[in-house]
A and B are shown apart, each in its own frame.
Chain A
């Protein structure tokens, strides 16, 4: 049975999903998170000894070299995805999402004064075109970049391409690996500091940890083991980085997703980076919309994988559904902003659906429901 557009304009089958984080692939990462292990470590913010250390979850040492430290990881993921369809050919588009792509290449050339071979990678379209050729994909590759909701929004666009009959299957491919360009930028905003993140904890100062992440999701019109639905988004457009003070975007998202459950019992995997203002607003919105649902966040374990987090954490949620257990709010503990935050892993046997959300600079919000078909 195909997905019926009139039922939910953002519904799609999730045929496969996979990810890589500092803790390993989706299975290894899920296991580590269930054991409350974190991949975050104190690392000099720009990779140079003597610089202030900040919490980063890296898959390898943060270097600006060619080939890039993420190339082999992406090749492995692409190889895994290539079994599902002739990607990039007619009816099988790829949505390539990231916040930073290979921006470290510009840093390498312009700040570190490395040679010109880095330069082509610094262009988003050229970077993606080089990668698609390397992966053997056809020309139908679309690039979407919306900071930390990039992958989440890619999933929504993927479902829309399916329902508009532009595609039979869609590959949403995402990566964001840290570089001094990115870490120094967040450090300049002072939200990345020496403190380790404690998502949803009510404390004096907020902090985040950043992490490497990559992953993919295969969306299909056909029946699939899991289904993504009710993909919701909202953009406050209040400030370039800050949220609207009343949390209108958080509340909008929580209300829409809660309504989409139609009585199903859900658990929530929130965005939960560790910043205080956004964490409090996020908790408040769930307390109002879905107060019985346990709320967990995983960025205290894998770091905030930025533009890739929507796909990376989708893969982890899929493993959680398969195994009947979701990791708790890793790296954090009480006092939490609200009682529904779960520090420990959650037994999923009495739940029907997962609510997954992502937030970004500019008050951008995206979320979806994930459930067995």
Chain B
């Protein structure tokens, strides 16, 4: 049976009604010039990664459906004089990269994933496929503007991180893969996963075409 132990979890949602204050808070302690240019998703990734192990030998799996939606909108709006800053920061996986650069954390294995309703399931499989014994799953979305209205970007800004290990000591939760599901085929999106992890709720994540991931808190 495929099994991993979650040593630590962190999560944070950016409340829309307090945008300026949250941005100021999340920029604290970061190099000023870099922090000014960071995207909302980059700041969120930095926030949840801070408490995670910092070693090049800990693998990182990053999952985001649309990534820097606001920056992508800014880059498109900059035509006919395209903005180099917006171009750089709109490229997947800029959110995680900004965080790792701000925290000065080089990493050997780094798998940036995109996807839709099965993204979380694919990310968990990737976490259990890496060569390293320790892996961090970093996931998040950035609330879009017109992209959100068109149904192409998230309506929330949030991020979470899980530290998964092959070692059971001091684990907060367990992750198992089952060949069969308990019957529910309802997909669990990255946003759904965020809600379950923030609330420390049990979660079954179908992984089509077969099997499911089960997250249980200890």
User: B38: nearest residue on chain A (CB-CB)?
Assistant: A240
For the residues of A in contact with B, the DSSP-based class is mixed
Contact assessment for B114 and A161 in the assembled complex, using a CB-CB cutoff below 8 Å? no
Q: How far is the CB of B130 from chain A (nearest CB, A)?
A: 6
Contact assessment for A89 and B209 in the assembled complex, using a CB-CB cutoff below 8 Å? yes
Q: How far is the CB of B190 from chain A (nearest CB, A)?
A: 11
Binary CB contact string for chain A from 331 to 363 against chain B (1 if under 8 A, 0 otherwise) = 000000000000000000000000000000110
Count residues of B near A (Cβ-Cβ below 8 Å). Answer: 52
Taking a contact as CB atoms closer than 8 A, the residue among B72, B76, B131, B208 that contacts A140 in the complex is: B208
**Known contacts A111-B76, A187-B82, A361-B91; A237/B112 CB under 8 A:** no
Decide yes or no whether B116 CB sits under 8 A from chain A: yes
Taking a contact as CB atoms closer than 8 A, the residue among B82, B93, B116, B152 that contacts A146 in the complex is: B93
Per the bound structure, the CA–CA distance linking A239 and B94 in Å amounts to: 11
Contact assessment for A153 and B111 in the assembled complex, using a CB-CB cutoff below 8 Å? yes
Decide yes or no whether B178 CB sits under 8 A from chain A: no
Decide yes or no whether B97 CB sits under 8 A from chain A: yes
Decide yes or no whether B199 CB sits under 8 A from chain A: no
User: What are the residues of chain B within 8 A of A110 when measuring CB–CB?
Assistant: 76-77, 146
User: What are the residues of chain B within 8 A of A88 when measuring CB–CB?
Assistant: 209
Contact assessment for A233 and B110 in the assembled complex, using a CB-CB cutoff below 8 Å? yes
Per the bound structure, the CA–CA distance linking A142 and B209 in Å amounts to: 12
Decide yes or no whether B25 CB sits under 8 A from chain A: no
Chain A interface residue number, banded: 35 or more
Most central of A107, A185, A233, A234 by chain B CB within 10 Å: A185
User: What are the residues of chain B within 8 A of A233 when measuring CB–CB?
Assistant: 108-110
User: What are the residues of chain B within 8 A of A235 when measuring CB–CB?
Assistant: 100, 106-108, 110
Contact assessment for A106 and B72 in the assembled complex, using a CB-CB cutoff below 8 Å? yes
User: What are the residues of chain B within 8 A of A75 when measuring CB–CB?
Assistant: none
Decide yes or no whether B43 CB sits under 8 A from chain A: no
> Would you list which residues of chain B between 124 and 151 have a CB under 8 Å from chain A?
125-126, 128-131, 146-147, 150
Most central of B83, B106, B113 by chain A CB within 10 Å: B106
User: What are the residues of chain B within 8 A of A145 when measuring CB–CB?
Assistant: 92-93, 112-114
Decide yes or no whether A10 CB sits under 8 A from chain B: yes
Decide yes or no whether B84 CB sits under 8 A from chain A: yes
Q: What are 10 inter-chain pairs, A to B, with CB distance below 8 A?
A: A89-B209, A107-B79, A119-B152, A124-B66, A125-B114, A142-B126, A145-B114, A146-B112, A237-B107, A364-B110
Residues on A facing B (Cβ under 8 Å)? 9-10, 46, 88-90, 99, 106-107, 110-111, 116, 119-120, 122-126, 128-129, 138-140, 142-147, 153, 157, 160-161, 163-164, 166, 181, 184-190, 233-241, 248, 361-362, 364
